[in-house]
Amino acid sequence: MFKIAEKKLLAPDIYLMKVEAPRIAKTAKPGQFVIVITDERGERIPLTICDYDSKTGLVAIVVQAVGSSTKEMVKLNEGDSLRDFVGPLGNPSELANMDIEALKKEKIMFVAGGVGAAPVYPQLKYLHGLGIDADVIVGSKSKNYMILEDEMRAVSGNFYPATDDGSYGFKGLVTNLLEDLIKNKGKKYDRVVTIGPMIMMKFVCKLTKKYGIKTIVSLNSIMVDGTGMCGACRVTVGGKTRFTCVEGPEFDGHLVDFDEAMRRQTIYKSEEAVKLHRQNDPQEKGCFCKIDLGGVK
């Protein structure tokens, strides 16, 4: 059992949890993830590590309550325990394996969308520890959904917020802000790392390809079991089949088949709808053919 030492509401339905997991805290690197199982009936949930501290033995994760399992997870409070907390899994960020002197010569921009800010933060923090302050764009629906701003401002060079409704920072898409910085503000970047919704990463990559900027994406959103065995994390990169859980989660964004990856994301949508229906109405045992499955047939 793994005790929850801290729980904090970051935004509507988005929580930060710090979990007592000293072995993971000692070996984790930016970009890696953990598999979390809430209780004996819970399913495996892959979550990217948001932060880790080898001294305190705490590992931070960010949980967005969108499905039946994550809704159950966020019901837990400080002092409660998770049944399983396994990791670190996946490959570390490419940045963590680069020569430090070579890394210091690069100008890096991170582009995060929504809860994608959570896996971006440890990479910013890692670079900051090396004396490198990268820039970061964080996009959200509105100011209320902007997470980890103070933490990222403390370890970045320039922090650029963007909101869909214009309630904070730049009004519009992160791609529009990035292009404005490059085209109109004279910013030059050697590398972009983008993490967030699949559609956002797709268009960030289309933009950076136009400007010839190397771009890394994290495909953690299509992971399911964390081992590659279920096959849900299959993705085509450069014409070859790769498994995000074991070969990623980071890949060259200019080589990823995003349309295929987005189709793969819908595989479990109807099953999740049924689970949520049963969770809301435990007595329901009949036919589910009338449930709105969000367009999934």
pLDDT class of 154 with cuts at 50, 70, 90? very high
| Cα atoms in the Cβ-side hemisphere of radius 13 Å centred on 255 | 13
Q: Per CATH, which fold does 2-89 belong to?
A: Elongation Factor Tu (Ef-tu); domain 3 (2.40.30)
**Rounded Cα gap, residues 140 and 150, in angstroms:** 15
Q: What is the pLDDT of residue 264?
A: 73
**Residue 143, pLDDT above cutoff 90:** yes
Question: What are the pLDDT digits (tens) for 278-294?
Answer: 445 545 544 433 333 33
Q: What is the pLDDT of residue 296?
A: 33
Q: What is the pLDDT of residue 227?
A: 64
Lowest-pLDDT range of 26-40, 154-168, 198-212, 244-258? 244-258
Q: Residue 233 corresponds to which tokens in the numbers above? A: 């994390």
Question: What are the pLDDT digits (tens) for 14-53?
Answer: 999 999 999 999 999 999 999 999 888 878 888 999 999 9
Question: What are the pLDDT digits (tens) for 108-117?
Answer: 999 999 999 9
Q: Rounded mean pLDDT of 192-209?
A: 95
Q: Rounded mean pLDDT of 214-218?
A: 95
Q: Per CATH, which fold does 94-265 belong to?
A: Rossmann fold (3.40.50)
Lowest-pLDDT range of 14-28, 198-212, 264-278? 264-278
pTM of the model: 0.84
Q: What is the pLDDT of residue 121?
A: 96
Q: What is the pLDDT of residue 286?
A: 46
Question: What are the pLDDT digits (tens) for 46-85?
Answer: 899 999 999 999 999 999 988 888 898 999 999 999 999 9
pLDDT class of 268 with cuts at 50, 70, 90? low
Q: Rounded mean pLDDT of 256-277?
A: 65
**Residue 243, pLDDT above cutoff 60:** yes
Q: Rounded mean pLDDT of 260-270?
A: 70
Tell me, letter by letter, the H, E, C secondary structure of 184-253: CCCCCCCEEEEECCHHHHHHHHHHHHHHCCEEEEECHHHCCCCCCCCCCCEEEECCEEEEHHHHCCEEEH
Helix (H, G, I), strand (E, B), or coil: what is residue 121?
Answer: helix
**Residue 132, pLDDT above cutoff 60:** yes
Q: What is the pLDDT of residue 169?
A: 93
Which residues make up the CATH 2.40.30.10 domain(s) of the chain? 2-89
pLDDT class of 272 with cuts at 50, 70, 90? very low
**Residue 8, pLDDT above cutoff 90:** yes
Q: Residue 119 corresponds to which tokens in the numbers above? A: 């896996």
> Which residue, chain included where needed, has tokens 């967005």?
64
Q: Which of 24, 5, 22, 18 is nearest to 80 (CA)?
A: 5
**Rounded Cα gap, residues 273 and 250, in angstroms:** 29
Q: What is the pLDDT of residue 288?
A: 37
Residue 188 has a CB neighbour count (10 Å cut-off) of: 10
